[in-house]
Amino acid sequence: MIDLTHWEDIAARHIQSRGERVPGRLSGKAVIVTGSAQGFGRGIAEELYREGAQILIADLNEPLAREAAEALGGRAVACRVDVSDEESVAGMVKTCVERFHGLDLLISNAGVLKAGGLEEMELKDFEFVTRVNYTAFFLCARYASRIMKAQHEADPAWTGDIIQINSKSGLEGSNRNFAYAGGKFGGIGLVQSFAMELAPYGIKVNAVCPGNFYDGPLWSDPEKGLFVQYLQAGKVPGARSVEDVRQFYLGKSLIKRGCLPRDVAVAVMYAVEQTYETGQAIPVTGGQVMLK
């Protein structure tokens, strides 16, 4: 384990005094959002910033992360992170403590997706998806909880949150998309297990399971987006174009639109503010997937 003792001490010493207080539901809270230079992550970061949070925009694409942080304002800082690399994740947590003197909320959002059936999926691709979507959540929780435990020890009234941005594919299987769904199912297992372990330290652990964000690059990228991948993989019977695939998925939600970052941010704030809930997977799917 990489040593964070110095940074734990800083977080513990400043627990009562840190944080720029501005109006908002998350006023003064130090927040890391991984994968937040674009897409869902950036939208979530923008919403939480508007609620008074201090935001570390953590992303593999450092120039884009800097752009996102500058667009937010003075309470946002950019940081390059490879969430699949242990040293990089530890460095991300160090940066948060260095800049904000602590950590109150970690949002593990960074993720990748590669669709394909059993005959198409290669081992290297399966392992890559699993490393980013599953193993990285373990690394983020491991190092974030080190800081959070120190803060709770310094002030037993302090509480913190770890939230994984999971997926509706973590609640039900996904045809020809097993690498992604499998990692997300596993993520909910980690959420429940981490919740049990970290509750004594005032740390809640939950997952938010969004429906499809059709306007983001994950779905709409003209070369690598899911609409293109699903068309090529034959996932939608009879689909002859990207638009056919899009209309098929728009029709799945009871509320006939895609999920938006604001929808997810509201669920995140619920998870933070609800002090009597941990170990849960909160669906935000427009009724497409319902809890059983």
Q: What are phi and psi of 17, to 5 degrees?
A: -115, -15
CA 13/CA 31 separation, integer angstroms: 18
CA neighbor of 104 nearest in space, from 244, 216, 204: 204
214 carries an active-site annotation: no
Residue pointed to by tokens 């909320």 = 105
Q: Residue 248 in contact with residue 236, Cβ under 8 Å?
A: yes
CA 104/CA 91 separation, integer angstroms: 17
The first and second tokens of residue 41, run together, are 């992550």
**In terms of DSSP H, where are the helices of the chain?**
5-13, 39-50, 62-72, 86-100, 123-130, 136-154, 178-198, 217-220, 226-233, 242-250, 261-273
Which of 49, 134, 180, 214 is an active site residue?
A: 180
Active-site annotation, residues: 180
